[in-house]
Amino acid sequence: AQSVSQHNHHVILSEAASLELGCNYSYGGTVNLFWYVQYPGQHLQLLLKYFSGDPLVKGIKGFEAEFIKSKFSFNLRKPSVQWSDTAEYFCAVTPYNTDKLIFGTGTRLQVFP
């Protein structure tokens, strides 16, 4: 079945540690890729997206993600996390021939000072 997989369900880090959250998708064709974030008590908001061009995309708050087509992956990275990055992170995919955004199960990130 077509799906989006986030293998890390819960990640705990200390401030200044580096972050990488995995995301893999199973769609064979062209896709648009997104990372959304939900901070505690807030609504979902876009962190970054990729639809064409440079496979390394930069988003808000120092986040970046790299699209590796051969691996069907779109991992999220940040070199040095802050306490304020504590949130739930969702990878999402829109297959080229549809308009619906398909989400992974999310990764809960906790950053301790």
Partner 1 sequence: DTGVSQDPRHKITKRGQNVTFRCDPISEHNRLYWYRQTLGQGPEFLTYFQNEAQLEKSRLLSDRFSAERPKGSFSTLEIQRTEQGDSAMYLCASSLGDSNNEKLFFGSGTQLSVL
Segment interacting with partner 1, rule: CB under 8 A, options 18-26, 44-52, 59-67, 76-84? 44-52
Strand-pair partners of 13: 111
| Residue 44 in contact with partner 1, rule: CB under 8 A | yes
Answer yes or no: are the C-beta atoms of 6 and 20 closer than 8 Å. no
Nearest approach in angstroms of CB 82 to partner 1 is 23
The residue length of the chain stands at 113
Task: Dig out the tokens for 73 from the structure.
Answer: 């992956």
Answer yes or no: are the C-beta atoms of 75 and 89 closer than 8 Å. no
| Residue 29 in contact with partner 1, rule: CB under 8 A | no
| Residue 56 in contact with partner 1, rule: CB under 8 A | no
Q: What is the C-alpha radius of gyration for the chain, rounded to an integer number of angstroms?
A: 13
Tell which positions 69-98 bind partner 1, by CB under 8 A: 90, 92, 94, 96, 98
In the set 8, 11, 22, 49, which binds partner 1 (CB under 8 A)?
49
Nearest approach in angstroms of CB 38 to partner 1 is 9
Nearest approach in angstroms of CB 16 to partner 1 is 28
Nearest of 43, 39, 46 to residue 87 by alpha carbon: 39
| Residue 59 in contact with partner 1, rule: CB under 8 A | no
